[in-house]
Structure 1
Amino acid sequence: MPLVAVLVLAACTPEPRLVETPVTSPVPERVDTGELVVAVSGVAGGYNPHHISDQSVVTTALANLVLPSVFRTGPDGVPRLDRTVMSSADVTSYDPYTVTYQIRSDASWSDNAPVAAEDFVYLAEQVASSPGALDAAGYRLIEDINAADSGKTVEVVFAEPYPGWRSLFANLLPAHLLKDAPGGWDGALQDNFPAAAGPYAVKALDTDRGEVVLERNDRYWEDPPTLDRIVLRRTDQPGVVDALDAGHAQVALARLDAVGVNSVGKLTPPVATHTVARPTVSTIAIRPDRPQLTEREVRQAIVALLDREQLVTVGTGDGPAAELLANSHVLAPSQPGYRPTAPAEAGHAPQRAGQLLRGAGYTKTPAGWTRGGEPLDLVIGAPEEREPAKRIAEETQRQLVAAGITAEVVTLPADELYAQLHAGADADAEQNGGEPVDLAVIGQPVGADPATSLASNFGCVPGEDGQPPAPANPLGFCDAGLQPTIDAALTGALSVTDALAAVEPALWRAAVSVPLFQQAETLAIRGDVSGVTPGPPLAGPFAGAAEWRRTEG
């Protein structure tokens, strides 16, 4: 009976109703294929591409996208006329040496002012006369600039022949807005771009948030770029990996150490990576115009005390830049014709350093190296915005202190540090609260024309009122004996190869700088973008940003 009851009950019980609950999946976020985000390591203030103190990935990017240039570097590293801006540029006379530039009639700034001769005049005058300007040696050869055809024809007359003239007038600036602007040349492009004459214009520049927004320049006269917007966003190393993984950044051009490169390499799906060498060599400047460093033997001793291999490791974190060890003064490792010129005695040699210091009259005491009862006491400067430079300065201090030399590190805003270096000993007492810098970790610029780099980085300028030649570089270095060779290379009377054969050994003997490594970033590219490449040598990927594309993938 119980069994029957159960069966009856089962038969009378209605079948349970099957309720279908829809499974909800997250709706994918709509991809804005008109915007591309690039993760960068820093968005520090100061974006003038002609200031040594302003050199950075972001400065190079903005110059490529916003400012017009007469020539741009081609894929083979050779300057090529930018026909979006220029119709022609040619040497039209050899006596006097004259170059005539023809600007396109439709080339104009975003406020409708034409790109014209006044932009050439403004840039030439400012670079030639301003301490801390890049590649100033070429501009200092200009004797006169004449204009015709409402400023669209520009005739530049040089005091001497100048084979490197194609390196001039890159990244022209809007003279009509800057020549009377508050702050003048020193403040130009400090925190904004007042006008654009390239495919993009700066929509927003926020250093506090670490973000730069570029939007398509509606006043650009050539074919518009593919993307509506490019956003540069400051991101630390872990953030770069996460942003690429999540798709919050589609591209990264960032300073990564070995750990960061390895982490990016493990992302799935794979992310393409390239090393992009920058036009800058991390260098320790040893100033011969400082009282304790006027003697060459003392500077040579400091060089011998430095463990360059360790300094490179500290500065690069064994990232890609560690493969670009700089063993010459003028050419960087990524440049054609580069070869190591460092002599054997330029290496780490503490015993030789001791001999040099004793020869200069120093004595090693329990308190360190002293002469006449005074210690060898040095101040090492570094730009506060450049974290690798600060690490190098601290490691330099550690090595010198361990060897018995008193040393301290001070950090300054980059523009203040370079202002002190260029001003020389006369202005030191007014700089840095009475602590003049003896050594400095700087970025030594390199360029497409080696003769111009040589003259700008190591040359002299004529003294005023019959005074001897004076330094024209952040090293405070001027060798009247080398200057004729430097001048001959600049004017083409001597080949660069022959000039470097004479100058490089002299620079190593002078011990005024210790090149470490060429700076480099890692370029990482997700699969949902196309057209992004490492770019021409020393110019970088942003040179081709007008062709970048983004997909939904």
Structure 2
Amino acid sequence: MNARPRDELREGGTLTLPVGQWLTQFNYYHLDGSLDDALTVVNLLEPRMFSRDAQGTPHPVPAYLRSAAVTAASPQTVTYRLNPDATWSDGHPLGWRDFAAQWRALGRGDQRYEVSDPSGYEDIASVTEGADAHEVEVTFERPFADWQRLFTPLYPAAAFGTPEQFNDGWRGRVPVTAGPFKVGSLDETDKTLTAVPDPHWWGTRPLLDQVVFRTLDPTTAVQAYLNGEIDAVNAAAADLYDRLAGADDTDIRTGSAWDDVQVALNGASGPLADVGVRQALLRAVDRRALAEVAGEGLPVGVPLLGNHFFMANQPGYRDNSGELGTYDLEAAERLLDRSGWRRGDGGGTRSKGGQELKLRFVLSQATNRLGLDLSQLIQQMLGRAGIAVEIQKVPADDYLSKYLNPGNFDLAIFRFTGQTYPSSLYPVYRQPEGGLDYENYGRISSPAVSALLNEAVHTLDAGRRRQLYNQADAGIWELAHDILLYQRPQVLAVRAGLANYGVPGLGDIDYTAVGWER
């Protein structure tokens, strides 16, 4: 991170960063807004009740909170004491109505709100004013262990209170802010967003004059970095690292963050609706070989993952993959035979009832070279088992809204990042219901897994909670929900002299502290 105190840094300057897709939805809680790049931008502009340190431990953000604590156990009640200086850009102070509007949008089951994740909010019974206008009381119907992750980011009631505001009011614009930065410009032609310090900000003043986010595909981003046009870029692949490690004016910063790489399997229809076929895919893919490819030429290791909820360097981690996490081509072929997909005498692609076993592997055009290499290797591995795979590249801006969310794929490779609160993964693995698929893109779950996760998110005892998540994880492996690969190493090429920016471990970056050395 090149951690430096403020008095060693100069005021002013620009930080220019790449994003993988042009952001069209700035409501992070909307189905089309739940992107890592969107969260990075929104965290500059909107309130964050808590931030996490390098170990993933949450701490109140003083600009917004004087305190926040569980003040009653039965029912669980959390009292937030707000900073009285905290004010929205429309002049209204932050207050209980903002918390209540967010709860009603996310937690009341109103399907007019196109919500990505209701977990935690759906457990709240009421949100009321506390002792005065600067205090909020949140009372839960059921205990919720990860309550610190709620209301981060917080959105204003004035622009969040109706389904129309929730779904469309933040599409292509940011109507109200209350962060250290505000939007300086949104240039749809150049696909560039510029954030500038908000002169009405009451907290610690940002050092930077502006943070610029440029929409760049991975190859273009590397060249832009080498040209001096951006100040940081991913170097976590051999071809990238080779180009960047010796670049002028460059630091390579490494670390271990919450970052998993996985291949989603679509179990809603087609061949992958059969759990036996999904399990065959897991046995046919050599995960260790893929991790070795990912780590080749890098200065860090690439651990295989055997857990969907905890990283290898996180308390609670246990490898639950069992045989399904181990490559065995013969076992894969037996599973396919058992499911009725058989090869002809000459080998080749398997078929069943006159239908060939063909799958469509959807890739975002923003996928970097390593992602493409991995998908092609998976294509070859599955081909050896008699499964034909067609790789289809689709526009990055459409990847979430037109492919992942509607389930328009058979296979899709992507990452989950920053999920240090296990409950934030509940929507990824819970059973779809009432027309809501949550973030379970492949629509694969079971009543048993959902019940274990439901119990886990409502269990306050940490040891018991970890046990429940691990039991659920074992069930997720058995369901062959996805092909979980590895914990992605964090390797960044960063412009020399940039301080308090890089790899924050399991935590968050404080952009008010980011600046350039004198």
With structure 2 as the length reference, what TM-score do the two structures score? 0.83
**How far 1:397 sits from its partner (Å)?**
3.7
2:237 and 2:295 in contact (8 A); partners too? yes
What does the per-residue CA deviation read over 1:288-317, in whole Å, with 9 as the maximum and x for residues that have no partner?
332423332221112222233455567788
Look up the SS of the partner of 2:99 in the other structure.
Answer: helix
**How far 1:87 sits from its partner (Å)?**
2.0
**How far 1:352 sits from its partner (Å)?**
0.9
- Quick one: which amino acid aligns to residue 445 of structure 2? C
Q: What is aligned with 1:298? A: 277
Matched, 1:214 2:195: yes
- Quick one: which amino acid aligns to residue 456 of structure 1? P
2:261 and 2:487 in contact (8 A); partners too? yes
What does the per-residue CA deviation read over 1:16-60, in whole Å, with 9 as the maximum and x for residues that have no partner?
xxxxxxxxxxxxxxxx96222334253422444335754555324
Moved more, 341-350 or 156-165: 341-350
User: d(CA) in 2 for partners of 1:395 and 1:187?
Assistant: 40
Of 240, 261, 267, which aligns to 1:260?
240
Moved more, 522-531 or 79-88: 522-531
Look up the SS of the partner of 2:14 in the other structure.
Answer: strand
How do 1:152-301 residues align onto structure 2 when only pairs under 5 Å count? Answer: 152-180=134-162, 184-187=165-168, 189-234=170-215, 248-249=229-230, 251-254=231-234, 256-268=236-248, 271-275=250-254, 279-301=258-280
Alpha-carbon distance change, 510 to 531 in structure 1, aligned in 2, over 3 angstroms? closer
**How far 1:417 sits from its partner (Å)?**
2.0
Alpha-carbon distance change, 481 to 348 in structure 1, aligned in 2, over 3 angstroms? same
1:107 and 1:221 in contact (8 A); partners too? yes
Larger Rg: 1
Moved more, 308-317 or 86-95: 308-317
User: d(CA) in 2 for partners of 1:396 and 1:87?
Assistant: 50
Look up the SS of the partner of 1:140 in the other structure.
Answer: helix
1:65 and 1:200 in contact (8 A); partners too? yes
How do 1:42-441 residues align onto structure 2 when only pairs under 5 Å count? Answer: 42-46=20-24, 47-51=26-30, 54=33, 58-128=37-107, 129=109, 136-148=118-130, 152-180=134-162, 184-187=165-168, 189-234=170-215, 248-249=229-230, 251-254=231-234, 256-268=236-248, 271-275=250-254, 279-309=258-288, 311-312=290-291, 323-365=302-344, 366=346, 368-387=349-368, 392-410=374-392, 411=394, 412-421=398-407, 436-441=408-413
User: d(CA) in 1 for partners of 2:220 and 2:437?
Assistant: 46
2:179 and 2:198 in contact (8 A); partners too? yes
User: d(CA) in 2 for partners of 1:378 and 1:97?
Assistant: 47
- Quick one: which amino acid aligns to residue 412 of structure 2? A
Q: How many pairs does the alignment contain? A: 496
Moved more, 231-240 or 102-111: 231-240
Moved more, 388-397 or 476-485: 388-397
Q: What is aligned with 1:456? A: 427
Q: What is aligned with 1:35? A: 13
Q: What is aligned with 1:511? A: 480
User: d(CA) in 2 for partners of 1:392 and 1:242?
Assistant: 22
Look up the SS of the partner of 1:137 in the other structure.
Answer: coil
User: d(CA) in 2 for partners of 1:70 and 1:52?
Assistant: 22
Alpha-carbon distance change, 110 to 276 in structure 1, aligned in 2, over 3 angstroms? farther
User: d(CA) in 2 for partners of 1:132 and 1:382?
Assistant: 24
User: d(CA) in 2 for partners of 1:335 and 1:48?
Assistant: 29
- Quick one: which amino acid aligns to residue 91 of structure 2? N
Alignment RMSD? 3.5
Q: Structure 2: which 5+ runs fail to align?
A: 1-9
**How far 1:340 sits from its partner (Å)?**
3.1
Of 430, 441, 460, which aligns to 1:474?
441
What does the per-residue CA deviation read over 1:210-233, in whole Å, with 9 as the maximum and x for residues that have no partner?
432111111111232122222233
User: d(CA) in 2 for partners of 1:477 and 1:463?
Assistant: 15
- Quick one: which amino acid aligns to residue 289 of structure 1? A
- Quick one: which amino acid aligns to residue 14 of structure 2? L
User: d(CA) in 1 for partners of 2:168 and 2:295?
Assistant: 31
Look up the SS of the partner of 1:546 in the other structure.
Answer: coil
**How far 1:272 sits from its partner (Å)?**
2.2
Q: Structure 1: which 5+ runs fail to align?
A: 1-31, 422-435
User: d(CA) in 1 for partners of 2:473 and 2:500?
Assistant: 40
What does the per-residue CA deviation read over 1:260-293, in whole Å, with 9 as the maximum and x for residues that have no partner?
2233322345x32213556442222223332423
User: d(CA) in 1 for partners of 2:300 and 2:82?
Assistant: 39
- Quick one: which amino acid aligns to residue 258 of structure 1? A
2:54 and 2:506 in contact (8 A); partners too? yes
2:130 and 2:136 in contact (8 A); partners too? yes
1:214 and 1:230 in contact (8 A); partners too? yes
Q: What is aligned with 1:545? A: 511
Q: What is aligned with 1:4? A: none
Moved more, 440-449 or 137-146: 440-449
**How far 1:418 sits from its partner (Å)?**
3.0
User: d(CA) in 2 for partners of 1:449 and 1:402?
Assistant: 38
Look up the SS of the partner of 2:405 in the other structure.
Answer: helix
User: d(CA) in 1 for partners of 2:133 and 2:482?
Assistant: 43
Moved more, 506-515 or 328-337: 328-337
1:71 and 1:82 in contact (8 A); partners too? yes
- Quick one: which amino acid aligns to residue 516 of structure 1? L
Look up the SS of the partner of 1:136 in the other structure.
Answer: coil
Q: What is aligned with 1:25? A: none
